[in-house]
Every structure is written in C-alpha cells, then in structure tokens.
Structure 1
Amino acid sequence: MSADDTPEGEEGAVDAAGEESDQDVRERLERGADRAVEQFDDGVVDLLSWLLDTETRARIYVSLRQEPDSTSDEVADGTGLYPSTVREALAELHDEGIVTRHKRESDGAGNNPFEYSAIPPSDLVGKVVEDVQNQLNAVCNLDRYLDGDSDTERDTEPVTITVEEAPDE
C-alpha cells in the first residue's frame, strides 16, 4: 500500500506531498496522551490497592476523591461495582476513618441517604505509615526472632518513617 492509499485519519496518514496533516498529528498525540493517563491511573489504583488492601476499595477511594459527597449508588454507578459491594466497602472504610459520611439534605419526605467523601491522600498515607513501619521492622528483625533471641534490651526498630505535610505553594 502506498502513502496515497492510506485511509484518512489513520495513523501514518499522509497528504499528497508525503507529510502528515496537523489533524493526524494531533489525533495521534491525543491517543498517546489518553494511553499515558490510563497507565498513570492504573498505577495509582495499584498503589492505592496496596495501601487499602483491595482494588475495590482503591476504586471507591478514587471515585470519592473525584466526586465527593456521593451516595453509595452514585459510587457504584461511577465505578461499575455492584451496589452491595460498594455499601460493604464504604462501611469498612468509614469504620477505618478513610471516608467520612453525613446524611444528604433533602426537603422532601423519604429516605435521606448517606453522602461519602474520602480523606485527602496525605491523611491516608499518615494512617498507613505506622503499619508499614511495623512490617518493615519485623522483617529487619526476623533473623533475631528466628534464632530465639528474646532480649528485649536489644529490641530496636531500625526503620522509622516520618511523614511531613508539604508546604503550601
């Protein structure tokens, strides 16, 4: 197939002079940007899955950061998760202090559902730092524990994690 036979709008499309049009270049760049954003989003969800224990909880957290004050049904619609799964995960996340909730204000009669919002990422990191530090210290001291050394005076915690709030810019 020659350059002249390439259908318009496809990657690599060229005009009669053998050059890509500005529109084709723009479309190719937009596709590349969309792929980069998608890969970035997947990386964030992977990291949050590790912090929050499951991908389900991570997707709910991301949804609530994007759309605060959402009901469980709105989160389910936004994430594509089953409503019952979302309600169960939201209850756990609320008990752990990762999401907050309040009743939705309504003038009419009927059920006022809870609206949920997720804590800021810096607060989330602060909540998990102690667990991560304890796990790292357990690994660092594993040989001593396996050797049966229970000398409490030698119990040291070689790993200390400090989280500082970033200055406002």
Structure 2
Amino acid sequence: MSTDETPDGEEPEPGRETADEDEDEEGVRERLEAETDRAVERFDDGVVDLLSWVLDTETRARIFVYLRQHPHSTSDEVAEGTGLYPSTVREALAELHEEERVSRRKRENGGAGNNPYEYTAIAPSELVTSIAGEVQAELNTVFNLDDHLGDEEAEPTDDADEPVTITVEESEE
C-alpha cells in the first residue's frame, strides 16, 4: 500500500488527511502549544520580577498583574485567581489602594446583602509615571548627599536646581 492510500486501499479524498497525518499534525500542535505556554510563563515571570521591584513585593506584583487581566475583581476573586491567602490579598489591596496603585468601588448587587469592593489596577503608564517621580527624588538625594550630611567641603546646591529630571512620555503608537 502506498503512503497516499487509506488502510482499505483507496485513495483519500482530496483535502482529507490520513490518520497518520492527523496524528502528526496533532503532535505538532501540542508541541507548539507547550512551547507557547512556556514562553508566556517565562514572560509573565519576567513581568512579575520587574513589577516586584516597582511595587515592593512579588505578592503585590502578582495582584497587580491579576487585576490588569481581570479588572473589577473582589479580594476573594483575586485570592482564588492568584493562589494567595485571602488575608494577604486584602492587606496588599488596602496598601495598593492607599498608594493609588489600584482603584476600588462597591460592587453593585441586585439583592440585599454584602456589596464587596471590586478592584482595578491603574494603567501601566500611570504606574511608570508615579514611580518616575519617586526614583527622581531618590537620585537627587544621592546627588545632593553632601548637602544633606552637612559636608562643609561640598559645593552648596540649590534644591530647586536638581541634577536629575525624569520625564515619561507615552509613545504615539
């Protein structure tokens, strides 16, 4: 039997694949999906690592990423989606809200009962803008360290004339 024939000896219909071709294609598809999953996981880990630096902890970073993917989530939904303890999530959400990294509002329920808060993370561009000011202030403190320590040999600087300025602009794309 030739490779183009079906098991019963007939030619396959044009456009139809044999069982072996189906299995090969399925195997390729599974390998591609596995590679894609690994790439996404590594990308997500990289984003979480970067956000951990920006937001102080991996817990807060994971919550931020979850809220970017699932806006208007309650603390219980965030805990379930991230695998973090509910009390840890509630504490981190309270801090992130106080720092204006997430917004919250009461969820509207049709019936009587508890209306929990639902949370949404700010846009990444807003997050970058907010931390740029903090980083700028820290760098200027380092540049002007002698002034702050009272070193008589250091040249005095005017606080209004800070040596570091960070400007964040959104791309036009």
Settle same-fold status: TM greater than 0.5.
yes
CA distance in 2, matches of 1:22, 1:140: 61
Deviations 1:95-139 (A, max 9, x none): 111111111111211110001101100001111001111222334
CA distance in 1, matches of 2:149, 2:104: 45
Q: Secondary structure at the match of 1:152?
A: coil
Tell me how far 1:140 sits from its aligned partner: 4.0
Aligned residue number for residue 17 of structure 1: none
Structural RMSD (CA): 2.4
Say whether residues 1:104 and 2:104 are aligned partners: no
> Computing the radius of gyration over CA atoms, which structure comes out larger, 1 or 2?
2
Say whether residues 1:73 and 2:66 are aligned partners: no
2:144, 2:157 within 8 Å by CA — same for their partners in 1?
A: no
Q: Which moved more, 1:41-50 or 1:144-153?
A: 144-153
Q: Which runs of 5 or more structure 2 residues have no equivalent in the other structure?
A: 1-23
Which of 85, 88, 99 is the equivalent residue of 1:85?
A: 88
Letter aligned with residue 58 of structure 1: A
Q: Which runs of 5 or more structure 1 residues have no equivalent in the other structure?
A: 1-20
Aligned residue number for residue 131 of structure 1: 134
Say whether residues 1:158 and 2:163 are aligned partners: yes
Instruction: Identify if the C-alpha distance between structure 1 residues 74 and 157 changes in structure 2 by more than 3 Å, giving closer, same or farther.
Output: same
- Describe how 1:2-41 pairs up with structure 2 within 5 A: 21-41=24-44
Tell me how far 1:68 sits from its aligned partner: 0.5
CA distance in 1, matches of 2:39, 2:120: 27
Instruction: Identify if the C-alpha distance between structure 1 residues 146 and 71 changes in structure 2 by more than 3 Å, giving closer, same or farther.
Output: same
Tell me how far 1:154 sits from its aligned partner: 8.8
CA distance in 2, matches of 1:38, 1:52: 20
Letter aligned with residue 33 of structure 1: T
Of all paired residues, the percent bearing the same amino acid is 68
Provide the TM-score with structure 2 as the length reference.
0.76
Aligned residue number for residue 43 of structure 1: 46
CA distance in 1, matches of 2:109, 2:159: 60
Tell me how far 1:66 sits from its aligned partner: 0.5
CA distance in 2, matches of 1:153, 1:79: 47
